[in-house]
Amino acid sequence: MSRDLTEAVRLLQAGELVAFPTETVYGLGADAANPEAVAKVFAAKGRPADHPLIVHLPGAGHLDRWARDIPQAAWDLAEAFWPGPLTLILKRADAVPLAVTGGQDTVGVRVPAHPLALDLLRAYAQAGGGRDGMCGIAGPSANRFGRISPTDAEHVREELGTAVALVLDGGPCQVGIESTIVDLSRDDAVPRILRPGHITPERIAAVIGVTPDFPAGRPAGAVPRVSGSLDAHYAPRTALRVVASADLAVVLAELAAQGKRVGVLARTESGAAESAAGCCRLPDDPEAYARGFYAGLRELDQGGNDLIVVEALGVGPDWAAVADRLRRAACGAGEG
Ligand code: TXA
Ligand code: MG
């Protein structure tokens, strides 16, 4: 673990992998303009090559080098939310290698808000950036494909071990779930949310004057353009079951009677949850819950439990982003 930016920049320029903190989750960084470096990201994650990576930029001033035909809405959103947890999908500039876009003609870009990420990106730009002077760091979440996203530096080591040359340690991530992704690449189409996150559709609408499309779940028959939209994403290895608050005590008693070792991810105060083999209680507030969600799941996944019981989330739009992650975790449970 390190905070050595000079070494991080040197490694990136040499085509090596550097994991770095962002405000959402840790990213697995590589020079986005270098196809061989990008290939190492896919290999380290075990991720299929047609899943595009997000490119992290030092600032919106770099957008022109990565995207073309940038609509006004993109500039407005960048102005309002960057640095921050919002990824824009735009038409790809010619200079962007297809390796980083998964072969697509669009590119995902964002400026992260974590101070260490920004310092890294700025130091990288200062040092001349990567190939062809392009200053983008490709950074998917620094976990093995389909697994729980890392929200601190220790998780990255657990996931990727020596496959990553350097892990920059910026402490625990403040947002805790991945950025909101909004697709602005389709001419004349209403912007579309591809992945919900901390930046809500309402906040986006307030900036661009149109409510973005927010398809509930994955569009039928759609190719998984966003790997996070594969149902088995963000999954613990332990089987996972979501239980309503009101049923928690009864269900846990039944499981105990069956001799099951259960880890509970609780949200409200519950004696039954606290007397389970493992219990992690997260705050009953969507933002604070999101901050601790992946770390809680990871802890229970490693606790030698037969089953993880998650107390059902609160209802309403504020819970939508974390509900999306929980739904996927529940789908993929037990698949490893
Ligand atoms: O918060 C985040 O976005 C984190 C941090 C590290 O920045 N990154 C992240 O990356 O979640 P990843 O690769 O795990 O998920 C990003 C998603 C991928 O599922 C990818 O398919 C999607 O963004 N994406 C990237 N480029 C895209 C494109 N051109 N079109 C559609 N989706 C794209
Ligand atoms: Mg991911």
55 Cα to the center of ligand 1, angstroms: 8
Instruction: Say what the pLDDT of residue 255 is.
Output: 96
Instruction: Using the predicted structure, report yes or no on whether residue 224 has a pLDDT greater than 80.
Output: no
Distance CA 144, CA 150 (A): 10
In CATH terms, is domain 3-208 a member of 3.90.870.10? yes
204 Cα to the center of ligand 1, angstroms: 18
The ligand 1 site (C-beta within 6 Å) comprises 22, 24-25, 27, 51-54, 85, 87, 89, 101, 104, 106-108, 112, 139-141, 178-179, 181, 194, 225-228
Q: Which atom of ligand 1 is nearest to the CA of 143?
A: 14
Measured CA distances, 140 to 22, 34, 137, 151, 273 (Å): 11, 15, 10, 13, 34
Mean pLDDT, all residues of the chain: 92
CA dihedral 119, 150, 176, 269 (to 10 degrees): -150
SS3 of 42-78: HHHHCCCCCCCCEEECCCHHHHHHHEECCCHHHHHHH
Question: If you take atom 10 of ligand 1, which residue's CA is the nearest one?
Answer: 140
Confirm whether residue 227 is marked as ligand binding: no
* Class (C level, CATH) for 240-333: alpha beta
Instruction: Say what the pLDDT of residue 123 is.
Output: 98
pTM: 0.93
Q: How do residues 131-155 score in pLDDT, each as one tens digit? A: 999 999 999 999 999 899 999 999 9
Q: How do residues 267-288 score in pLDDT, each as one tens digit? A: 998 888 888 889 999 999 999 9
Instruction: Using the predicted structure, report yes or no on whether residue 234 has a pLDDT greater than 70.
Output: no
Boundaries of every domain in the chain: 3-208, 240-333
Mutation to probe ligand 1, out of 17, 50, 54, 96 (largest number of atoms < 8 A from CB): 54
What percentage of the chain carries pLDDT values higher than 90? 85
- The pLDDT confidence band at residue 2, using thresholds 50, 70 and 90, is confident
Instruction: Say what the pLDDT of residue 30 is.
Output: 98
Burial degree of 179 (CB within 10 A; 0-12, 13-18, 19+): buried
Instruction: Using the predicted structure, report yes or no on whether residue 227 has a pLDDT greater than 50.
Output: no
Q: How do residues 78-106 score in pLDDT, each as one tens digit? A: 999 999 999 999 999 999 999 999 999 99
Q: How many CB atoms lie within 10 A of CB 274?
A: 11
